[in-house]
Amino acid sequence: MAKNVLDFETKKEAQLHKRKEAKVDALRKAFRKARGDEPSKPPRSRAEKGRKPKKK
């Protein structure tokens, strides 16, 4: 019966984090628009470049 128990707090925290991130993104866009900055591409992380580590 313990397998049927749901942890709503964990799911709620994840959803709240997503909402906060969306608010931050909206604020960033608004400030950039107010300054007149052109939309730029977000910087790519090193992992996205597709480079493989050298074998030793």
Question: Which tens digits make up the pLDDT trace of 43-54?
Answer: 666 555 566 777
Whether residue 56 lies inside any domain: the answer is: no
pLDDT tens readout for residues 1-14: 567 777 888 889 98
Domain region containing 17: 8-32
pLDDT tens readout for residues 12-43: 998 999 999 999 999 999 998 899 876 666 66
What's residue 36's pLDDT?
86
Whether residue 1 lies inside any domain: the answer is: no
According to DSSP, residue 36 is labeled T
What's residue 9's pLDDT?
85
Whether residue 28 lies inside any domain: the answer is: yes
What's residue 45's pLDDT?
65
What's residue 8's pLDDT?
85
Q: Which residues of 29-55 are buried (b: 16+ CB within 10 A; e: fewer)?
A: eeeeeeeeeeeeeeeeeeeeeeeeeee
Cα–Cα distances (Å) from 19 to 14, 27, 44, 45, 48, in that order, read 9, 12, 23, 23, 25
Distance of CA 3 to the CA centre of its chain: 30
Whether residue 48 lies inside any domain: the answer is: no
Whether residue 22 lies inside any domain: the answer is: yes
